[in-house]
Structure 1
Amino acid sequence: MFYEDWLNDNQELEAQVIQEEANRIKFVNYARVLLEHIRVGRLTLNQAIRLVIKNINSMSYYQDDE
C-alpha cells in the first residue's frame, strides 16, 4: 500500500497532514519575509529569532499586508 492510499483510507489523518503541510508553507513564507527584513536592515537577527519563537508559541504566522 502506498502512502497516498493509506491517507485516503484515513480521512482524519489526511486532513491533519494537509493542515501540517499548510502550516509549514506559512512558516516558510514567514521566514522569507523575516530574511528580507534582515537583509534591508529593518530587523536584526536577534529580533527575527524572537519573532519566530513568539509566533511558534502562539501558532500565529505573519500575514503579509502587501
Structure 2
Amino acid sequence: MKSQQLEIKLSNKMEEDIKKAQSKSTQAGADLIYCVNLYNQAQSKRFEEMVATTLELKKLEVERVEMM
C-alpha cells in the first residue's frame, strides 16, 4: 500500500517536473525567436545606414573632385 502511494507521489512529481521543463522550453523558444527578430531588425537597419553613408560619401567625393 505504502509502496503504491510512494509510486503515485513519484509519478505526480515527475509529471510536474516534465510540465515545468516543457514550460521553460517553450518560453526559451519564444525568447530565442524574439532575440532573432531583434537581431534581424538591427542587421537590416545597419545595412540601410551603411548604404546611405556610402552614397553620401560618394556624393561628397564627387563634389571634392569637381572642386579641384
Q: TM-score, normalised by structure 2?
A: 0.47
Query: Relative to total residues, which structure has the larger helix share, 1 or 2?
Result: 2
Q: TM-score, normalised by structure 1?
A: 0.48
Q: Which of the pair has more CA radius of gyration? A: 2
